[in-house]
Structure 1
Amino acid sequence: MSALLEVSGISKSFDGFKAINNLSFSINAVELRAVIGPNGAGKTTFMDIVTGKTTPDDGEVRFGENGRSLLKMNEAQIARAGIGRKFQRPTVFEDQTVADNLTMALKADRNPFAVLGWRPSRKSQARVLALADEVGLSAQLTRRAGELSHGQKQWLEIGMLLASAPRLLLVDEPAAGMTLAEREQTTTLLCKLAETRAVVVVEHDMDFVRRLNCKVTVLHQGSVLAEGSLDHVTRNPNVIDVYLGR
């Protein structure tokens, strides 16, 4: 199976500090992957490079069957190409309802005249209902986003990303601040999403990673230190020394 995302030998330095050091990483079109590592391992910079926020000093990042270079695209172009990123803190429109948030996220013509004359269609309304159902918010459609729990806001933001039909989702520490029940529902959601697309979850919570039951990539000092099942990488002496033993 050919990779959906292929990161080859990327490096990035900030004021002499090498945040990413000859990093190579790939993920298939339908796969769930967890990325773990100590603070400063390069996890955020890796996501910044994939989404176009940061340009590497060396290396290449290719996406899709035709291997398009993401380094020649800006953030908006990369998002339109099919890469969605969810940051750790949910960013939703708190004064708007859940339905309104999902509606605003739908793929649509952004021409100013088209936006001014836009009215919800049956198709768009059906899509909003489907998205709400997919992320477990069907019963919350008329509630203001600001009234939702932390976990529900996280699911709403994932729903907003799904509205643009991404082929790759980058999700940053989704379990942080959630109740046990929300964490369990989030695990189920991410596993379900990975049945039809690539999902990369950056996480510190090892119990949450274990629940995901997927391949794990361990980063350290901007490089891949180990890769495999969670049991495999947690038995690796190097991983124990630099991450688990701390």
Structure 2
Amino acid sequence: MNGTLLEVSGVSVTFDGFRAINNLSFAIGPAELRAIIGPNGAGKTTFMDIVTGKTRPDEGKVVWGDMAQSLLRMSEAQIARIGIGRKFQRPTVFEDQTVTENLVMALRAPRSPFAVLGWRAKPADMDRVQALATEVGLEDALPRKAGELSHGQKQWLEIAMLLAQEPKLLLVDEPAAGMTLAEREHTTRLLVDLAKTRAVVVVEHDMEFVRRLDCRVTVLHEGAVLAEGSLDHVTSNPHVIEVYLGR
């Protein structure tokens, strides 16, 4: 694997005769920010479904970490526990609970029924909650109910809840959608900072947001990698212009 955190190799999957992923191969490093772009139907969501165990491919390998573990042999829960977190486009937080309560519920802790019943947050847990809120810019919102937060703040809270699980890879789906300009700028800084200590893969349609991320870009088309490199490199590729940019 040699410096590779996630390797997807020769992966294909077909739904009712439609090949959503077609011999897909690429790799993600252990502390890397990567953007994945492509038109609707390019396979972006299916790729994330495969990595997180929601969808099983027809063929190919998905290998994780230095020990070269096969993700295809793991359940969704096992994949989450080894360090893969996924953030969907729509934030999923407990709106009737405070930011603090959301983060406490997200902390890594024993999950057996008896352990959950007896678990109580310790001072170290509350210190961790404070640190997570500060990391995403919600330190002043800890007492507020999540339902009172802006759309962007809910997105940051969900990211913090994923960070509470100490992931090595974050899959983030269209984080800039519906955000104000200030929220987008904050989200850009947050994702760039997070990628200094873990892998962050951002699936995004907004090319200006991708440009701000200033990272390696993978372009998917018809379930395969069409181009890869800097944003300027891939957007100057004639094939990318033809199938994605439309000009």
TM-score tier by shorter-chain length is over 0.9
Equivalent residues in 2 for 1:48-197 (5 A)? Answer: 48-197=49-198
Q: How far off its partner does 1:114 sit?
A: 1.9
- Report the counterpart of residue 242 of structure 2 in structure 1: 241
Divergent runs of 4+, >6 A:
none
Letter in 1 for 2:148: E
Q: How far off its partner does 1:228 sit?
A: 0.1
DSSP 3-state at the match of 2:5: strand
- Report the counterpart of residue 220 of structure 1 in structure 2: 221
> 1:159-199: per-residue Cα shift (whole Å, max 9, x none)?
00000000000000000000000000000000000000000
DSSP 3-state at the match of 2:26: strand
- Report the counterpart of residue 16 of structure 2 in structure 1: 15
Q: How far off its partner does 1:25 sit?
A: 1.4
Letter in 1 for 2:184: R
Q: How far off its partner does 1:111 sit?
A: 2.0
Instruction: Work out the CA distance in 2 between the residues paired with 1:99 and 1:34.
Output: 30
Instruction: Work out the CA distance in 2 between the residues paired with 1:136 and 1:25.
Output: 33
Letter in 2 for 1:180: L
Instruction: Work out the CA distance in 2 between the residues paired with 1:204 and 1:121.
Output: 41
Instruction: Work out the CA distance in 1 between the residues paired with 2:157 and 2:102.
Output: 8
DSSP 3-state at the match of 2:109: coil
Q: How far off its partner does 1:113 sit?
A: 1.9
What are structure 2's unaligned runs of at least 5 residues?
none
Letter in 2 for 1:35: I
How many equivalent residue pairs? 246
DSSP 3-state at the match of 2:81: helix
DSSP 3-state at the match of 1:3: coil
> 1:82-129: per-residue Cα shift (whole Å, max 9, x none)?
000000000000000000000000000112222222211011000000
Q: How far off its partner does 1:211 sit?
A: 0.1
Q: How far off its partner does 1:14 sit?
A: 0.4
DSSP 3-state at the match of 1:119: coil
Letter in 1 for 2:3: S
Letter in 2 for 1:158: I
191-200 or 114-123: bigger deviation: 114-123
- Report the counterpart of residue 34 of structure 2 in structure 1: 33
Letter in 2 for 1:183: R
Instruction: Work out the CA distance in 1 between the residues paired with 2:112 and 2:77.
Output: 15
Q: CA RMSD in A?
A: 0.7
Instruction: Work out the CA distance in 2 between the residues paired with 1:136 and 1:39.
Output: 32
Instruction: Work out the CA distance in 2 between the residues paired with 1:56 and 1:114.
Output: 35
Instruction: Work out the CA distance in 2 between the residues paired with 1:50 and 1:118.
Output: 31
Instruction: Work out the CA distance in 1 between the residues paired with 2:120 and 2:84.
Output: 27
Instruction: Work out the CA distance in 2 between the residues paired with 1:81 and 1:115.
Output: 20
